[in-house]
Chains A and B, each alone.
Chain A
Amino acid sequence: MDLARRLFMTQAARVTAGAAFVPLAQVAQAGINDQPPRRGGDPTKRYAMLIDLRRCIGCQACTVSCHIENEAPLGKFRTIVSQYEVENEETGALAQFMLPRLCNHCDNPPCVPVCPVQATFQREDGIVVVDADRCVGCAYCVQACPYDARFVNPRTQVADKCTFCAHRLEAGLLPACVESCVGGARIIGDINDPESQIARMIDEYHDELMVLQPDKNTAPHIFYLGMDERFVDRPEARPGLWDVRDSDGAELGYEYAEH
C-alpha cells in the first residue's frame, strides 16, 4: 500500500462565508499572481458546489453517473465518495463518514500554473478545465492537485478531471452527479446570483461551511456543510482493502490497476 493511497484524506477547516469569498483573494495573493489570465466561460458567473453531508447517503450514484456521462476509463474517477468509520471522541459512538470528492475548482488552482503548455486553465466562470488539444499528458497538474482530483486518462493520454459537466450547464441542465444525487446533497450553482439555491444556502449556513485543506491557499469552491470540524488536521485513516483474492485465497489484485 503506497503512501498516496494511505494519506489521500484531506484536511478541512471551518471557513465563514466571509473567509470563503473576501479574504481568500488576499490570502492567496501570492498564488493568484502566478495564475495566467482566465479565459472562456461567462464572466458574470462563478460556479461552485455545496455538498450537504447530512444528506449524503454514500450511495455512489454520483460516482457512477459521472463515470458514464464523461466516459471515464474503468478504475478512474472524476468524483467519488470516500467512506470512513469514525468515532465520536466524547461519546465513543461510531458512525460512518461520507466524503464526496471532486475537483475543487479553486480560485487559486495549483494545477494551472504548473502546466507547461497552458492546457489546464480556469474559465471566467471559475470552472477549471483541460484543453485536450494542448495537453501533453505530463501529469504535472496531477502532482500539483492537493485533492487528488486529476488523473491521466490512459485512453486519451491527457489530464482528465471534473468539469462540473460544463457541457450540461451550458445546455441549462444539471451536472450528472447533481442530477443523480439521491439524498439531494450536491448543490451546484452560480454564487454570483444571490437568488441561486447555493447562494441562499451559503448565506443561511454562513458559519458552518468548510472547505478541504484551506491552509493550501487554493481557495477551493466545493463547500461542505455538516463537515466535522475535527478534520482540520490531516487524519490518519487505515487503508481500505482493495486487492482482491480468489475463492482459494490467491491474490488477484485490483482489476483496474494500471500495469
Chain B
Amino acid sequence: MDKSRRRLLQGGVAVAGTATFAAGYSAPLEKMAHGLSGSSGEKPAHPIYGDAPAPEYRVDLATGDIEMNPDQRMAFTICYGCTTQCGVRVRIENATDRVLNVRGNPYHPLSSDAHLPETAPVREALRCVSGFDHNGQENRSTACARGNAMIAQIDSPHRVLNVLKRVGPRGAGEWRTVPFERAIEEICEGGDLFGEGPVDGLRAINDYETPLDPDAPELGPKTNQLLVMEATDYGRSALLKRFAFNAFGTRNYGHHGSYCGLAFRMGSGAVMNDLDSNAHTKPDFENADFALFIGTAPSQAGNPFKRQGRLIADARAKGLDYVVVDPALNASVVNPAQGANWVPVRPGTDSALAMALIRWLLENDGYAADFLSLPSQRAADAANEAGHTNAAHLVIVEDGHPAQGRFLRKSHLGLAEPEAEDDGPIVLAGGTPTPADSADRGDLFARTAIALPDGGKIAVASSLTLLREAALEHTLADYAAECGIPEDRIVEIARRFKAGGRRAVVDCHGGMMSATGFHAAYGIQVLNLLAGSMNHKGGSAHGGGSFNGFGNGPRYDLATFPEMRKPQGVFLSRSKFPYEKSSEYNRRVAAGENPYPARAPWRKLAPPVLTEHLASALDGYPYPIKAVIGVMANPLYGQAGLQELIGDRMADPSRLGLYVAIDGFINETNRYADYIFPDSVMYEVWGFTGAWSGTLTKTTTACWPVIEPRQVKTADGDPVGMESFLIAVAKRLNLAGFGAGAIPAADGGLLNLDRAEDFFLRAAANVAFTGDTLPAASDDDIALSGIGRLMPRIQETLPPEERGPVTHLYSRGGRFQNFAKAYDGELLGNRWTRTLCLYNEDVATAIDSETGRRHRGVPEFRRAELSDGTPMRDLFPEDDWPLLAFSFKSNIFNSYAAGLDRLRMIKPYNPVLIHTADARRAGIAHGDTLEIESPGGRAIGIALVGEGVMRGALGIEHGFGHSELGATRHLIDGEPHGGNPWIGAGVNLNALGFADPTRRVAGTWLEPISGASVRQGLPVRIRKLEDVAA
C-alpha cells in the first residue's frame, strides 16, 4: 500500500465500534481448539428470530390494515434522553409493564421528517411508520441511540426507589430508608435530625414578612434562604416554580443553563432584543445555500440534536455547502459531503473570528444593505420584508451625556414625551434626522452631531457605524492570529457566506461557553442580520414556539391563585439587579469610597445563575441560606471547578443546614444531601415541553405515566417524587397554591391540587382549548395510543366537556401545528418581529460591577479575562499552561448517561484529543496514559493523538469521568448500592475548572457578562503517566 493511501485512514479514531465486531473471535476460537461440544446455551424463544419480542402490530402490505398485538401497547410521550425532549412512541409489554423499545412519534416535528397532521387518526400514524407503501422509510420518525438506551434507567439497579436519610456525616455514602411521611415531617419541622444539633426546618425558614437583613432591605424576606434548583425543565418546572416562587415565596431558583449554553443564549438574546428570555434561532437547514456552524455541530450535538442531525443529513445529500468551525473534527463533517469543511479554531477565541467576518463583509459589500436600512416594522412591511433591525438607529455617543449609550429618541428632539409609548428612535434619512417609524429607509452609516431644540448639539452614530468601528479596531491578520484560523481561510468563509446571500445562515451554541462567550455569540449572531437571513426561508429561524398550558389559560388559571406570594429581593447570584441600587453601593458611596469593585459580581443583564447561587450562598454573600431543594440537579458535575471549590462546604452542616434532593439516582451533587426522595424517571412522569428554537411549527409535547412508576408510594398511594413531595410540604406548611381551593377555573370555581394530575391534566385542558379546540379522540384512537390507563384519571379530574379534547391531545402525544405552516412563500411561517439589534441599548448602559465601566453595545473582540479584568494569560501564562482545554458534547453520552450499559458498550470512555505536534512535544504517544493538570485540578486520561483537533487545544468529550450514578458504592440500609468502576471511566473537563483567584467571594471562573461557567479554553498542561499498576 502506498503512502498516500495509508494517510487516508491515518486517524482510525474509531470512536465507536472498532473492537466490537471482531470481539466475537476469541471465545469461539478457544472453543474450536477443544473440539465441537454442541450448544449448551439457553434456548432462544424462536430458532430463527431468537429472543426478539413479537412485533407490536402487523400491517397487511396490500391493504394497509393493521392488527394490533394484544400483549403490547404503544404510547406517545416525551424522551428525556437529553434536553432535546423529542416526542416518542414507546412500546410496552402489558404483562410486565416493561418498555420494549422507543421510536419517534410521527406527529412530532422533532422526530419526523414531515410530521403528520394532529387530526390524522392514530391508526394512520401507526401505518405511516410501517413498511406499507414505503412510508416508513421515506418519512421516518426515529429515536436516537441515547433515547433507546435510556429505557434502562427505569429498571436500573442503581436507581433510588425509597426515601433515604443520611446516616453519619454528609457525603459519607451511608443511608437508611425512612417513610415518606416521616421525612416530610422532619424536613418541615426541623430539630436535631442528625444528632449534630438543631436544624431549621422549612417551617422556620418560611418567613415571608421579615427581611433577611434590615440594613439591606432590597435583599428581600427570609424565605429567600431556601434555594430551589433543578437540572432543566423536563416539562414540570411550572409546578416547582409555583412552589418556590409563589407558595413558599423564595427568590432563589436556578437550573443548569448557566453551565450549559448561557453565554450563547445571552449573545443571541442581545441580537433578538430579548435579554429577558434570551430567545435564539437555528438555521432553516432545508433551504439554506450556505451554513456556517461555529462551536456547534449538527449531528454531533446541539439542540435539538436529532432534528438537526436529520436535517443536516438531508441537506448534505442535496449538496448543502457548509463549514464547521470547531476545535475538534466532529460528526458534522463526513467524508462523502464534498461541500463540507472543518476549520479548526483555538478554543475561546471565537469573538476574533466573528469580528473578522463582520469586518470583511462590511468592507466587501457583503451585507444586505436594503434590508438593514429598513428602520421599523412599518417600513419592513411596506417593503415586503420580514423583520427589521436597528442598523440605522442613532446612538448617543456624546461623552458624559446622561443618555450616553442610549438611542437618540424623539423626545430628545421634542417630538414626543420622554418614556412615552411612541418615544421611538431617530434615524438619518438622506442626512435628515427622522423618526424611525416614519422613515422608509435610514442612512446606514452616520457619525455626526445633531442639533437639539435647545440649540445645543449632541454627538450620535448609527448602530452599523459603531459595529464597523468595533470590527475595524483590529486587522484581519490580527484576528487570524488570535483565533488560529489563517487569514485566507477566514476570507474564504466570508466569501462563501456572502455568496449565500439571503440564504446564508450562521449558528453557534455550546462552543460559546468561554470567557468571551457573550461577545462571541453576539458577533456571530449579528452575521445573520448582515446577511438579512433572519425570518427568511433558508435563513435563521426562531421557530413556532409552543402552546402554554401553565398560564392563565382558557379553562384554568395555573399562573396565579388566591394569596399567591411574589418572589422579592435580590437573587443569590445578584442577577437582573444593578449593583448601583444596592445598599452596599450606597454605603460605600456615602463613605466616600470607590464603590467598585463590588464584593462579587452583580450582573444586571444576566438571568439568575446557578453558577453563582451555590458558591455565593455557602460564602454568605449577599446572604447565607439555610436549605436547598434540588431536583435532578447536578452542578458539582456540570460546572467547571465547582466540586473543588465547594465540595467541602456542601458537606458542612454549619454552612448549609438542610439539603433535600429529589432524584432517581445518586449523583455528584446529591451525594451531599440529607434526604433523597426517589423520583419518577422518564415515561413515568407528567409534563409538557416545548420544542427548541428553529423548530418551524408550534409544538407542545405531553407526557404522562405511560408505565407505573417503580419507586415507593406515599401513604395516599401516589408515587413518591417531585410532585408528591411539593404537595405534601406545601400542605403541611399550609402554603397557598396547593391543596384545597388552589386552582381557579374559568367558571370562577376553585379546585384542589392534591395530586400531580390535578395540575397537569388541567394544563392539558388549557392546551387543548387554546385557539381552535381540539376535536374529541375516537375510540380507535384511544385503543391504539395506550391511553386506556389514563382514561379513569381524566374522568375523575376533568368535567365531561374537556375529556374529549384532552384525550385527543394525549392520544397524539401533544399538540402540533400543521407542517404546512412552516413556510409562507419566501419567508418563514413563524417570524420574529422585534427590532433586531446590531447595537443593544441594555448592554451598552449596564455597568460592569467589577470595573465600574460600561459594557459595549456592539459585539467586540475580547480576550479571556478573569473576574477583575486581569487577562487570564497574565496569571496563567502559556509557558506554564501551554494548552487550552475544551469540552464538546457527545453524540452518544450526556451528563447522566454513564449508568447505561448499552452506551458504555459502544463508548466505554472518552479518550482525550491531542494534536500530534502537542503530543510529540510532551513525549506522549497515541494510547498513552496522561495526566492533565490545570490551575484547579487534575485528571488522568488516555491520549487520542491525531490531526483532528486544533493545535494547542485539548479536547474532552462531555459525559464521562463520573464518580457517582453507580460508580461509587453506597450503603443503603447496610446493603451495597452501586460500585461499578466502569461507570466512572473517562475524564470530566469540569474537574479541570478552577476558582477564580481574583474574586473576593468564592466563585469559579465565569464569563463576565452572563455568569456562564467557562469551559472552553481552560489553561492546562499535560505529562505522560508511567504505567500504573492495576
Chain A residues with CB under 8 Å of chain B are 2, 4-5, 8-9, 52-61, 63-65, 67-71, 74-77, 80-87, 89, 93-98, 101, 116, 129-140, 142-143, 147-158, 160, 163, 165-169, 171-174, 176, 178-189, 196-197, 226-228, 230-231, 233-242, 244-252, 254-258
Contact = CB atoms under 8 A, between A and B. Distances in A.
A222 B891 CA distance: 25
A59 B14 contact: no
B982 A81 contact: no
Nearest to B126: A173
A172 B10 CA distance: 43
Given A64-B902, A98-B334, A247-B940, 8 more contacts: A57-B891, A61-B147, A74-B901, A85-B11, A95-B342, A139-B31, A241-B942, A251-B1030
Interface residues of B, number: 130
A249 B940 contact: yes
A184 B137 contact: yes
B130 A172 contact: yes
Q: Which of A61, A129, A138, A153 has the most CB of B within 10 A?
A: A61
Contacts of A238: 9-13, 926
A154 B43 CA distance: 12
A137 B8 contact: no
Interface stretch (B33-41, B432-440, B476-484, B861-869): B33-41
Contacts of B401: none
B611 interface: no
Given A5-B18, A9-B9, A136-B36, A248 B1028 contact: yes
Contacts of B317: 52, 54-55
Contact of B309 (A57, A174, A179, A237): A57
Interface string B88-127: 0000000000001101000000000100000000000000
A85 B55 CA distance: 38
A243 to B, nearest CB: 8
A184 B939 CA distance: 39
B908 A101 contact: no
A183 B140 CA distance: 9
Interface string B291-315: 0000000010000001001101110
A184 B891 CA distance: 17
Interface string B897-922: 00001111110110100000000000
Q: Which of A152, A168, A245 has the most CB of B within 10 A?
A: A245
A75 B27 CA distance: 13
A152 B31 contact: yes
Contacts of A70: 50-52
Contacts of B100: 68
Contacts of B11: 84-87, 94, 237-238
B627 interface: no
Contact of A180 (B103, B132, B905): B103
A173 B59 contact: yes
A224 B622 CA distance: 62
Contact of A252 (B13, B60, B316, B985): B985
B23 A83 contact: no
Given A8-B18, A152-B24, A172-B131, A182 B944 contact: no
9 contacts: A57-B331, A58-B891, A84-B13, A139-B28, A157-B39, A172-B131, A173-B58, A226-B336, A252-B981
Contacts of B143: 61, 65, 180
A246 B314 CA distance: 40
A241 B17 contact: no
A135 B19 contact: no
B57 interface: yes
Contacts of B144: 59, 61, 180, 182
Nearest to B330: A96
B996 to A, nearest CB: 25
Nearest to B4: A89
A186 B27 CA distance: 31
B791 interface: no
A248 B342 CA distance: 34
Interface in B733-749: none
Nearest to A93: B341
A180 to B, nearest CB: 5
B313 A5 contact: no
Q: Which of A81, A147, A246 has the most CB of B within 10 A?
A: A246
Closest 4 CB pairs of A and B: A85-B11, A157-B41, A151-B24, A139-B28
B313 A184 contact: yes
Contact of B148 (A64, A178, A250): A64
B1024 to A, nearest CB: 11
A183 B5 contact: no
B892 interface: yes
Given A242-B908, A250-B1030, A75 B20 contact: yes
B105 to A, nearest CB: 13
A180 B46 contact: no
Contacts of A53: 334-336
A54 B20 contact: no
Given A151-B23, A156-B50, A238-B926, A172 B58 contact: yes
Contact of B902 (A54, A74, A143, A236): A74
Contact of B24 (A97, A148, A167): A148
A158 B48 CA distance: 11
Contact of B1028 (A142, A230, A241, A250): A250
Interface in B403-452: none
B23 A171 contact: no
Q: Which of B20, B51, B903 has the most CB of A within 10 A?
A: B20
Given A64-B903, A81-B17, A256-B905, A155 B31 contact: no
Contacts of A163: 48-50
B172 interface: no
Contact of B336 (A158, A228, A242): A228
A115 to B, nearest CB: 12
Q: Which of A4, A81, A135, A234 has the most CB of B within 10 A?
A: A4
Contacts of A58: 16, 299, 331, 334, 891
A129 B329 contact: no
A74 B903 CA distance: 10
A7 B134 CA distance: 37
Contacts of A55: 313-314, 316-317
A51 B120 CA distance: 31
Nearest to B317: A54
Contacts of B39: 132, 135-137, 156-158
A235 B5 contact: yes
B947 interface: yes
Contacts of B929: 245, 249
B31 A235 contact: no
Contacts of B892: 59-60
Nearest to B1026: A249
Contact of B27 (A74, A152, A156, A226): A152
B982 A59 contact: no
A58 B15 CA distance: 10
Contact of A71 (B40, B52, B961, B981): B52
Contacts of A86: 8-9, 11, 335
B18 A240 contact: yes
Contacts of B1: 233-236
Contact of A132 (B43, B306, B1028): B43
B948 interface: yes
Nearest to B55: A171
B250 interface: no
B140 to A, nearest CB: 6
A57 B10 contact: no
B703 to A, nearest CB: 20
